[in-house]
């Protein structure tokens, strides 16, 4: 049986991002469940805003190529994202848009996404924990061929939810994050068996 490969990324670029913290917990649980997990910080990819003139002139920027190659080589994604104005963040949508582009005529459409599975997480200081944004993230991923797991996990009052070491204060929330991270790894392991 081959080891499931997962790429984990957050929809926030912020250094102290609550979603990056939540993602790290999910990634750790997926690793403990047997997956190989690569965490990507979208800020480090330095993606320009998608512009078809850039694409026409010089193809995908280096960061987009790297991100897309990682997604293509993976079996699934862990994504933790805040909602901005009740929807997907621009950073996350921009990364998806770049990675959705073919680099040659013989490349299958949406090669980075079709047939992959994903688990979604969100954290926000508000009461809804980013829940409304995940509705849009789920719809977008579904439309480009990603099987998004029905379960998802949100952390409300995120500014009060984490210990200084990045762990979640609430044991039930910590268990849910762990269960969903491990759940994606287990789901992929079954598909690869």
Ligand X SMILES: Cc1cc2nc3c(=O)[nH]c(=O)nc-3n(C[C@H](O)[C@H](O)[C@H](O)COP(=O)(O)O)c2cc1C
Give me the least distance between CB of 154 and ligand X, in Å please. 10
| Site residues, ligand X (CB under 6 A) | 12, 14, 17-19, 82-86, 124-126, 128, 130, 158
Which of 60/177 has CB closer to ligand X? 177
Choice between 12 and 74, CB closer to ligand X: 12
Question: Quick one: 144 exposed, middle or buried, by C-beta within 10 A (0-12, 13-18, 19+)?
Answer: middle
Residue 162 has what DSSP assignment?
A: B
Give one DSSP letter per residue of 107-127, joined into a string. SPTTTTTTT-EEEEEEE-SSS
In whole angstroms, how close is the CB of 138 to ligand X at the nearest point? Answer: 16
Of residues 40, 39, 43, 37, the one with CA closest to residue 75: 37
Dihedral (CA of 124, 127, 129, 130) sign = negative
CB 17 to ligand X: min, Å: 3
**155: β partners:** 123
161 with 169: CB under 8 angstroms?
yes
Residue 81 CB, nearest distance to ligand X (Å)? 8
Cβ proximity to ligand X: between 19 and 74 the closer is 19
Which residue's CB is nearer to ligand X, number 19 or number 173?
19
Question: Least CB distance from residue 7 to ligand X, whole Å?
Answer: 18
Q: Nearest distance from residue 147's CB to ligand X, in Å?
A: 25
Element (H, E) at 131: helix 131-143
- Could you give the CA distance from residue 69 to residue 123 in angstroms, rounded to a whole number? 27
For ligand X, give the closer residue by CB, 52 or 85: 85
Q: Which is nearer to ligand X, 84 or 144 (CB)?
A: 84
Based on the number of CB atoms within 10 Å of its own CB, is 162 exposed (0-12), middle (13-18) or buried (19 or more)? buried
DSSP H or E segment with residue 130: none
């Amino acid at each position: 049986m081959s080891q499931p490969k997962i790429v984990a990324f957050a929809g926030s670029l912020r250094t102290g991002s609550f979603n990056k913290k939540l993602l790290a917990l999910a990634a750790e649980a997926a690793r403990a469940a047997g997956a190989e997990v690569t965490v990507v910080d979208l800020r480090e990819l330095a993606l320009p805003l998608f512009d078809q003139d850039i694409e026409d002139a010089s193809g995908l920027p280096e960061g987009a190529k790297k991100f897309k190659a990682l997604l293509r080589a993976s079996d699934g994604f862990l994504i933790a994202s805040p909602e901005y104005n009740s929807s997907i963040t621009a950073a996350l949508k921009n990364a998806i848009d770049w990675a959705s582009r073919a680099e040659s005529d013989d490349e299958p459409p949406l090669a980075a996404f079709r047939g992959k599975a994903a688990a979604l997480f969100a954290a926000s200081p508000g009461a809804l924990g980013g829940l409304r944004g995940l509705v849009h993230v789920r719809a977008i991923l579904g439309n480009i061929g990603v099987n998004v797991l029905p379960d998802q996990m949100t952390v409300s009052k995120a500014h009060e939810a984490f210990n200084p070491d990045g762990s979640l204060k609430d044991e039930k929330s910590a268990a849910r994050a762990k269960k969903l991270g491990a759940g994606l790894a287990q789901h992929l392991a079954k598909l690869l068996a």
